[in-house]
Structure 1
């Protein structure tokens, strides 16, 4: 399985590193073009390659969006991601530290609206990049990464990747209810929890 990562900032680059370390291939893209990813590719080795965003959408699955939320709409041709697993790892803010409001809807529901037919899973958005970089290889109980979505098979695919990275996949429910828990302002955002703690919190 080759995972596409769109966005090569601190969090996207970190995800690429730990995926490659776990034996995955990655295909990377950003707004500046493949040449700008050269130094990261040199670090990652032959398991990583770069392309333009639309090419990543054609050649890799799942696709992980790790760009600013304001960049998501129009980023990809919608027809290229129809029926594809699309991981929304973005976080929507109105200014520093101020979670965006969408009239009771979640930002991930908007992503699903912008990319009709895509199998959207909210995941990989709650953990700080510095924790993500090392926590999957630490001894002891695994930390949780969450999945929310309306496509159970898509969530299973993302959960398998989370497990490969050394984390515990925890299902938070539907794209609406689960994403409310995970997005900025929600109780699971930027709150490292072990698998047992996460399961206890969700079931309480």
Structure 2
């Protein structure tokens, strides 16, 4: 499967590396354009390519948003994500670059009770939005999937069962355990900044126990 990664900071670059190591193809898009991604593409080899965001969306079968939440709206043309799985791995914090009504630097954004992924689904109504891959620090993401012992959990929330199954398959390929937190709103709220699962490193057993409590 070819995965488009929109946002190539530390977390996006880390995801690209572990996807390629797991045998996936990636198309990368960053704020500075495809040329700025030359060194990363060279590092990743023939399984990687760089593009502008809209082109990456068109070429990929699945997309992962790893940009600041404040830049999500209008980032992609809606037709480019029509009927595609769109993984919302963004985190809604306030601070520089965020909309004026969000909270201060480092604080969870004030979304008026809305789930951040609900807003993403509203902005891209043709996409099958799944909240995932946003709760783990990039340094843990880089190595935990290859570690021995109990698998660490990555959570999935969404309203489309098939879309969640596709994301769960990728999580499994990366050496992690997919754990379903439910529908996009209620499950996404658990995962976003300020939620009880945000920035928590849990094994599969611990995550399942938490979900069922």
TM-score with structure 1 length normalisation?
0.99
Indicate the residue corresponding to 1:116 in structure 2.
125
CA distance, structure 1, for counterparts of residue 3 and residue 35 of structure 2: 19
Task: Give the drift of 1:80.
Answer: 1.3
Is the counterpart of residue 26 in structure 1 residue 26 in structure 2?
yes
TM-score with structure 2 length normalisation?
0.95
Indicate the residue corresponding to 1:165 in structure 2.
174
Indicate the residue corresponding to 2:114 in structure 1.
105
Indicate the residue corresponding to 2:46 in structure 1.
46
Alignment of 1:35-74 (within 5 A): 35-74=35-74
Task: Give the drift of 1:97.
Answer: 2.2
Indicate the residue corresponding to 2:91 in structure 1.
91
Range with bigger deviation, 75-84 or 5-14: 75-84
CA distance, structure 2, for counterparts of residue 110 and residue 42 of structure 1: 35
Which of 139, 144, 147 aligns to 2:156? It is 147
Task: Give the drift of 1:129.
Answer: 0.3
Please give the secondary structure, in 1, of the residue aligned with 2:28: strand
CA distance, structure 2, for counterparts of residue 104 and residue 92 of structure 1: 13
Indicate the residue corresponding to 2:99 in structure 1.
none
Deviations 1:125-184 (A, max 9, x none): 000000000000000000000000000000000000000000000000000000110000
CA distance, structure 2, for counterparts of residue 104 and residue 80 of structure 1: 29
CA distance, structure 2, for counterparts of residue 94 and residue 52 of structure 1: 26
CA distance, structure 2, for counterparts of residue 97 and residue 197 of structure 1: 27
CA distance, structure 1, for counterparts of residue 153 and residue 201 of structure 2: 7
Task: Give the drift of 1:34.
Answer: 0.4
Structure 1 unpaired stretches of 5+ = none
Task: Give the drift of 1:103.
Answer: 1.5
CA distance, structure 2, for counterparts of residue 172 and residue 118 of structure 1: 19
User: What stretches of structure 1 move > 2 A for 4+ residues in a row?
Assistant: none
CA distance, structure 1, for counterparts of residue 94 and residue 3 of structure 2: 29
Indicate the residue corresponding to 2:197 in structure 1.
188
Structure 2 unpaired stretches of 5+ = 96-104
Indicate the residue corresponding to 2:102 in structure 1.
none
Range with bigger deviation, 75-84 or 95-104: 95-104
Q: Count matched residues.
A: 204
CA distance, structure 1, for counterparts of residue 165 and residue 151 of structure 2: 18
